[in-house]
Structure 1
C-alpha cells in the first residue's frame, strides 16, 4: 500500500484550521505535526489527530517526519518560515499572498525551484467549475474583442465577522486589496492575460496610521491596452459583493458571488450559465492535487511563479497609490 502523505501545519488561525479539516478528511493524508505560537491551541488541535504539537517551527521541521508543510501564518512571516521549510527539503503550500513584497516572493520562488520541491499557493477559486466556465465564456464564448473589465469589491464590514485575526485590519499585512485581491487577480491574469501597469488611489481612516484601507479605486492595464477598473469599498450598509464583468464587442460575461458565471450576447440580460462539471469543496480539491504532486503525478496547482505574478501587481498597486501615478508592473519577473 502507498504510504500516506505526512503533513505539518504551521499556523492554526481560522484559515489554517479550515484547510486542516480537508487534510484530516483525506484518506491519503496523515496530519503528523501542528505548530502555533499558542501552545494551548496547538495541543488542543493536535490531540484528536494524534499529531505532535509545537510552538517553534524550526524544531518541528528538525524533529517531525514530514513530506509537506502548509504555511498558514500571517503574510509578514511567509518569507522567513517558507525559506526554512524549503531549506528542510519539504514540499510547501503557502497561504496567499505569497509574501509582503515582490522581492520576498521572488526569493521563495527561486528557493523552491532550486530545491526541487512542490510549491503551491492556496487560492480556492483555482479549479472551481464556476471559474472554469467563466474563463471558457470569455475566451471561447463569442464575446468578440475585449473592450473593458470591471472588478467590484464591497464589504459591509472589514474585517469580516469570521476573521478574528487583528492583522487583517492592519495596513502592513491586511486589507481587502491584499487579502481578497489575489483571488481575483489570479482569475484576471489567467483569463485576460498579463497586467502591464497600474494606477491606484487608496483611502485610509483619518488619524489612524496603522489601519488598512476603507476604499480604493484603480485601473489595471492589460497587455494590448484593455483596462480593468477596480472599485473597493468597505463598511457600507450593503451586502458583500465580489464580482467581475468582462465586456466584449459582441457580448458580456460575468462572475457574481465570487464564482457564479453569467453571460449575455448582444443586448440580452445577463443570465446564469450552468457549471460544466459538479462542484467539489475547494479544500478537498486542493488536497487531492497536492497528494498527487507529492507522489509524482502531474496535476493542477497554483505554483509560486503565479504567486510572484500576483505579488508584482500588488506591489505596483501600492507604489501607485503612494506616488499618485501610473506604475509599471515588473513584467520581467512576473
Structure 2
C-alpha cells in the first residue's frame, strides 16, 4: 500500500487550482484537505478529490493529519497563515512573493528553519530546461565580460485575463513588479549574482490611489558592479513580452517569451538555442521535488532563504520609488 504524502491546500483561486492538478496527478500524493473562505468553492473543489472541506485554516491544521500545506492565498495573508502552518509542524509550500514585507518574510524564514520543516516557494521557472540552458549560456557560452542586462516586461492589460481578482490590480499586494518580478529576479540572482542596490521610478494611475503601477523603470546594480535595466509597461497595444537579455563583451544571451533561450556571438543575429531533455511541466517538477524532500531524500526547491532575498529587492525597489534615489538592498 502506498504511503501517501498528505497535502492540504489553503486558497483555491486560479493559482491554487492550477497546482492542485499537479498534486492530484502524482501517484504518491493525496490531497487530504482544502480550505477557502468561499465555502461553495471549497466544496466544489473537494468533492472529486474526496478531501475534507474547511473555511478556517486553523481548524484544518488542528484536526487533519497533513504532511505538507500549500499556502496559495493573497500575499497579505502569507505571513500569518504560514506561521500557523509552521507552528503546527507541517512542511510548507508558499506562493510568491513570500510575504508583504521583508520583515514578515524574514520571520517566516526563521520560523521554518527553527521548526526544521521543509520550506519552499512556488517559482515555476526554477528547473525549467530553457532557463537552465540560458544559465549555461551566460556562464559558459563565451559571452566574455558582463556589460549589461535588460529585463523587459510588457503586458497589454493588467490584470491579465486569467487574473481577475480583488487584489492583483491593487497597489498594496499586486502589480506586475510584485507579481511577475519574483520569477525573473530569481533567474537574475541565480545567473548573474546578488543585487547590491536599486534605483526605481514607478508610475501609478492618477485617478485611483489604490491601483497598482502602470509603468516602471529602474536599475539593479549587481554586487559585481554590472547593471540590469528594468522596463515595465502595462495596458499597451502589444503582445505580452517577458524577456531577459545579457550583453557580454563578446556575445549576447537571452530569454524570450519567459523560457526560450537565444544567443549570438559578436555581431551575429540572435538565434534560438536548442533545449535538451524532456520538458516536464513546472508543477510536475515542483511536486516531485516536494515529495522527495518530505520523504527525506533529494528534491531541488527554492526555499524561503531565496524568497527573503527576492523580498529584499522588492522592498528596495518600492522604497526607491518613494525617495527617488538609490536604495541599498538589505543583506538577507
1:1-334 equivalent positions in 2, closer than 5 A = 1-331=1-331, 334=332
Write the distance in 1 (CA, Å) between the matches of 2:13 and 2:325.
37
Measured after TM superposition, the shift of residue 2 of structure 1 is 4.4
Instruction: Check the 8 A contact 1:76/1:100 in 2, yes or no.
Output: yes
The runs of at least 4 aligned residues of structure 1 exceeding 3 Å deviation read none
Count of residues in Structure 1 that have an aligned counterpart in Structure 2: 332
Query: Helix, strand or coil for the counterpart of 1:217?
Result: strand
Write the distance in 1 (CA, Å) between the matches of 2:133 and 2:297.
25
Query: Helix, strand or coil for the counterpart of 1:167?
Result: coil
RMSD: 0.6
Write the distance in 2 (CA, Å) between the matches of 1:206 and 1:253.
38
Write the distance in 1 (CA, Å) between the matches of 2:177 and 2:284.
26
Write the distance in 2 (CA, Å) between the matches of 1:2 and 1:192.
42
Measured after TM superposition, the shift of residue 224 of structure 1 is 1.7
User: Mind listing any 5+ residue stretches in structure 2 that lack a counterpart?
Assistant: none
What is the TM-score with the length of structure 2 in the denominator? 0.99
Measured after TM superposition, the shift of residue 299 of structure 1 is 1.7
Measured after TM superposition, the shift of residue 298 of structure 1 is 2.2
User: Mind listing any 5+ residue stretches in structure 1 that lack a counterpart?
Assistant: none
Query: Helix, strand or coil for the counterpart of 1:267?
Result: coil
Query: Helix, strand or coil for the counterpart of 1:166?
Result: coil
Query: Helix, strand or coil for the counterpart of 1:138?
Result: helix
Instruction: Check the 8 A contact 1:168/1:174 in 2, yes or no.
Output: yes
Write the distance in 1 (CA, Å) between the matches of 2:280 and 2:274.
15
Per-residue CA shift, 1:40-60, capped at 9, x if unaligned? 000110011000000000000
Instruction: Check the 8 A contact 1:14/1:164 in 2, yes or no.
Output: no
Measured after TM superposition, the shift of residue 193 of structure 1 is 0.1
Write the distance in 2 (CA, Å) between the matches of 1:276 and 1:134.
12
Write the distance in 2 (CA, Å) between the matches of 1:207 and 1:284.
42
Measured after TM superposition, the shift of residue 207 of structure 1 is 2.2
Instruction: Check the 8 A contact 1:36/1:55 in 2, yes or no.
Output: yes
Write the distance in 1 (CA, Å) between the matches of 2:50 and 2:251.
55
Query: Helix, strand or coil for the counterpart of 1:184?
Result: helix
Query: Helix, strand or coil for the counterpart of 1:46?
Result: helix
Per-residue CA shift, 1:286-329, capped at 9, x if unaligned? 00000000000122100000000000000000000010010000
Instruction: Check the 8 A contact 2:288/2:299 in 1, yes or no.
Output: no
